[in-house]
Amino acid sequence: MEEEVLGKAYDSRLMRRLLAYMRPYRRTVGVSLVFLLANSILQTAGPLLTKLAVDRYLDPSSRRFATPLDGFLAADPWTGLAQITLLYLLSVAGALVCDFAESYLMQWTGQKAMFDLRRQIMERLQALDVSYYDHNPVGRLVTRVTTDVDTLNDLFSSGLVTILGDLLMLGFIIAVMLRLSPGLTGLLLAVMPAVIFVTMIFRRTVQASYRRIRVAIARINSYLQEHVNGMAVLQLFNREQRSRTQFDDINRAHMDAYKDAITAYGWFYPVVEFLSMLALAMLLVYGGFRISQGALSLGILIAFFQYGLRFFRPIQDLSEKYNILQGAMAAAERIFKLIDTPALIVSPEKAETIAAHPGSPAVEFDRVWFAYKDDDWVLRDVSFQIRRGETIAVVGHTGAGKTTLISLLLRFYDVRQGVIRIDGVDVRAVSLNELRRRFGVVLQDPYLFTGTLASNIRLGTTGISDEAMVAAAERVNLLDYVERLPDRFEHPVRERGSGFSTGQKQLISFARALAHNPSILILDEATSSVDTETEMRVREALDRLVEGRTSIIIAHRLSTIQRADRILVMHKGQLREQGSHQELLAKRGIYWKLYQLQYKDQDTRRVGSPAPVPGA
């Protein structure tokens, strides 16, 4: 799915919604608009003062053209010119102050509004269920929070205000020019059809270029997100050159789109400049003729030259701001589409409370059916119970549905048919916070966040004291390693735990789970990626973790499976067998075959001779 921009440059529905983010700061916006209005008025004062100086003091033949300031100015030329110069400097200084104040206030307001918008996007991203991330690349979502929000910031901080300021300035300039000389004003406006025609061509060209630019930016973000995370695989298989070639294609598309935009800007401004000079040339001819007839003063002609230069500058700005407006509408469309995406997994309005009942199982799957898509069933009529304090292992071939059981239990997805209960309560009837705080999960690929060891163990949970954190690290055989670090628990952790071994990251994950003291522990292939020596440490930590807790272990290591109270054997989405290690071997069924294929060599390496197979 490409990142296309919206077809029209203005959408009232989107604009109303965007302006709602400015509502908390409406007083600041109001003050900014006052400064904007004052700046637009002061911008028109300079040419009028120039006209007054020429007509009253520098060109005696023009004194017959009276002005409203005649009664306030001195008759002496030097004194009068000094007064006009002072007024001119005051108008310039006033315009400078107003321009700075308006720009500062709108930039401040824009940043505040964008802060609120980014926070809302982040809240929505955290609220969306896991299935949303299965279909949306991370790079594209990052683009929503970064590039798209920055585009809206350009609209808020400069785009809207500049458009309004340019329109106000054009209005004031035209009003003053009509007051001074309707004929010269009509002559200046005569080139406007040509300017409008050139602007329309420029707008279409830049619009197409900006569309390609935004598509290329989204592709670059997605590509970098994927290939930087997979850099080890690229280097392992010597695919750096192929990756660079693919990136060059995406990068070149971005560069070519920018080149087209630069070309459009390159010819647009000179053409508008030429048309403005053409208009001024016509003013010179016509104005000189009118002055020779005594129908026009020299001061008015000079003022028109100054207004002419000011007149075409806002037109150029408006052409550029059109693209900002269109880009902002496109960014708003994509951002609001994300914000409006409903979360499929939400807490119920009237949530039930989970309370331990002696007679009810800790976990119960009751005739559960589930498919990620349509009727491609991943789980078929799965039913089992886990007693409180019991440790079970889940085994099966890849794709048998082992991890899906965990995802449904944590309610990352909802079952299609059947019920999953915790202490007799349907997981769909419990708030998500209440449900998930009961679980501690250790994954095969432990994830560490940028920060410190302490922050990675606590994960923001304020109720975990330093003593509890140290005790958790000690119980999982992590403390002796931490004691060797210069900063101990304040040791910095880089992105994704770079600098820590897989075993160390796994022990940190164990400490994290133990520190949160969950009632149900889930281990998903938690020992499959470590060496034998580290596995001994992890196994000791594992024994302490599961002690006194309901535990669900997905594992391939025989040592872990044999310690389980019960083993569930999944095959093609169905629970086909369950029992202890010896009981399942005695059945000579699916587990027996798995043992022969996967586990027997582990057992042989561990004890030095083949393990006896009951019933063989």
Region of residue 38 (phi > 0: left; psi between -120 and 50: alpha; otherwise: beta): alpha
What is the predicted pLDDT for the residue at 538? 65
Q: Which residue has the tokens 């010179």?
A: 284
What span, in angstroms and rounded, lies between the C-alpha atoms of 520 and 509? 15
What span, in angstroms and rounded, lies between the C-alpha atoms of 487 and 530? 26
Which class for 113: exposed (0-12), middle (13-18), buried (19 or more C-beta within 10 A)? Answer: buried
Closest CA to 199 of 315, 45, 25: 315
Q: What angle do CA 85, 89, 90 make, to 5 degrees?
A: 115
Closest CA to 327 of 79, 95, 159: 159
Three-state DSSP class for 439? strand
Domain architecture of the chain: domains with CATH: 12-339 (1.20.1560.10), 361-438+521-531+550-608 (3.40.50.300), 444-517 (3.40.50.300)
What would the two tokens of residue 365 be?
A: 């799957």
Query: Distance between alpha carbon 281 and the CA centroid of its chain, in Å?
Result: 51
What is the predicted pLDDT for the residue at 104? 87
Q: Which residue has the tokens 């606590």?
A: 458
Contacts of 255 (CB under 8 A, 6+ apart): none
* Average pLDDT, 10 consecutive residues per value, the chain (616 residues): 50 83 88 89 85 76 54 70 88 90 87 89 86 77 82 77 80 86 85 85 78 79 76 74 84 85 84 86 85 80 84 75 77 86 84 74 89 85 88 84 87 89 87 85 79 83 82 81 84 77 80 84 69 64 72 74 84 87 86 75 48 41
Q: Give exposure, 535-560, as e/b (b: 16+ Cβ within 10 Å).
A: bebbbebbeebbeebbbbbbbbbbbb
Contacts of 84 (CB under 8 A, 6+ apart): 49, 52, 53, 57, 73
What span, in angstroms and rounded, lies between the C-alpha atoms of 229 and 537? 29
Output the pTM of the full model. 0.72
Q: Are 457 and 469 in contact (CB under 8 A)?
A: yes
Contacts of 268 (CB under 8 A, 6+ apart): 198, 199, 202, 316, 319
What would the two tokens of residue 615 be?
A: 């019933």
Instruction: Give one DSSP letter per residue of 293-307, joined into a string.
Output: TTSS-HHHHHHHHHH
What phi and psi values does residue 483 have, to the nearest 5 degrees?
Answer: -65, -25
The one-character DSSP state at 58 is I
What is the predicted pLDDT for the residue at 61? 62
Three-state DSSP class for 548? coil
Q: Are 73 and 56 in contact (CB under 8 A)?
A: yes
Beta bridge partners of 568: 394, 578
What would the two tokens of residue 86 be?
A: 């002072």
Beta bridge partners of 521: 440, 551
| Torsion on CA atoms 159, 163, 165, 167, rounded to nearest 10 | 180
Amino acid at 67: T
What is the predicted pLDDT for the residue at 377? 87
Query: Distance between alpha carbon 40 and the CA centroid of its chain, in Å?
Result: 37
What is the predicted pLDDT for the residue at 84? 84
Q: Provide the 10 A C-beta neighbour count for residue 525.
A: 18
Q: Are 530 and 502 in contact (CB under 8 A)?
A: yes
What is the predicted pLDDT for the residue at 1? 43
Beta bridge partners of 421: 364, 426
CA torsion through residues 478, 479, 485, 487, sign:
positive
Closest CA to 368 of 414, 415, 328: 415
What is the predicted pLDDT for the residue at 608? 43
Q: Are 418 and 366 in contact (CB under 8 A)?
A: yes
Q: Provide the 10 A C-beta neighbour count for residue 217.
A: 19
What is the predicted pLDDT for the residue at 277? 86
Amino acid at 132: Y
Q: Are strands 550-554 and 391-396 parallel, antiparallel or unpaired?
A: parallel
Query: Distance between alpha carbon 345 and the CA centroid of its chain, in Å?
Result: 21
Contacts of 207 (CB under 8 A, 6+ apart): 5, 323, 326
